[in-house]
């Protein structure tokens, strides 16, 4: 918490690892049989991208998984008990873990495409494993994360993602498909793909 009583921004990868370790020690997806993905900026930081992270977002498939995760986190301050948010079509809970907000939710909208970060098949088909202490947490692929930030027009997020992907590689066909399906300007798509192929 900061001096105003609000959850604070993560200071970097080590703090994210600490928060995720505390979280996973309580909410072990394998032990509880939970299908979940780390999404949002936390997913990028967990994969080595240096960018601002204000909270940790965990996506679940089922409402019951959110309820079980919330019960497992009962030792941490609960900011929002599990609740249905009809406008967002999310079943949502929020906790504070080591001073950082952790949001756990479903996203209950359908999509015919597999390139959305939090909707439909995307996060369940395009992901990587991230080691967190003794746990393996599945995180959404950076390609989907990048397109989310391009659509939101947040250069403080998409520029570090692009630089990381330029240095470490990316699934360029998936990225091209995702940008096309999210209607990213074609000239901007070509610029991004060109940048990512420069070493």
CATH number, domain containing residue 26: 3.30.460.40
Give the residue numbers spanning the domain of 50. 13-141
Q: Is residue 167 part of a domain?
A: no
Q: What is the pLDDT of residues 140-169, one digit of tens each?
A: 999 999 999 999 999 999 999 999 999 999
Q: Is residue 198 part of a domain?
A: no
Q: Which residues of 37-75 are buried (b: 16+ CB within 10 A; e: fewer)?
A: bbbbbbbbbbbebebebebbbbbbbebebbbbbbebbee
Between 108 and 11, the more confident residue is 108
pLDDT at 6: 60
Q: Is residue 107 part of a domain?
A: yes
Q: Is residue 161 part of a domain?
A: no
Q: Is residue 2 part of a domain?
A: no
pLDDT band per the 50, 70, 90 thresholds, residue 31: confident
Q: Is residue 18 part of a domain?
A: yes
Q: Is residue 190 part of a domain?
A: no
Domains in the chain: how many in total? 1
pTM comes to 0.92
Q: Is residue 137 part of a domain?
A: yes
């Amino acid at each position: 918490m900061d001096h105003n009583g609000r959850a604070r921004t993560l200071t970097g990868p080590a703090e994210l690892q600490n928060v995720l370790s505390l979280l996973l020690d309580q909410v072990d997806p394998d032990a509880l049989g939970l299908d979940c993905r780390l999404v949002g900026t936390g997913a990028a930081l967990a994969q080595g991208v240096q960018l601002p992270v204000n909270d940790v977002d965990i996506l679940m498939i089922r409402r019951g998984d959110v309820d079980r995760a919330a019960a497992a986190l009962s030792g941490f301050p609960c900011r929002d008990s599990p609740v249905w948010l009809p406008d967002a079509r999310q079943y949502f809970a929020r906790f504070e873990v080591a001073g950082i907000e952790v949001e756990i939710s479903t996203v209950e909208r359908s999509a015919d495409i597999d390139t959305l970060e939090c909707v439909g098949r995307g996060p369940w088909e395009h992901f990587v494993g991230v080691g967190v202490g003794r746990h393996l947490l599945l995180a959404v692929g950076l390609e989907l994360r990048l397109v989310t930030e391009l659509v939101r027009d947040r250069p403080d997020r998409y520029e570090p993602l692009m630089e990381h992907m330029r240095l470490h590689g990316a699934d360029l066909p998936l990225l091209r498909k995702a940008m096309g399906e999210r209607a990213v300007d074609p000239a901007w798509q070509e610029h991004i793909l060109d940048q990512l192929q420069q070493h």
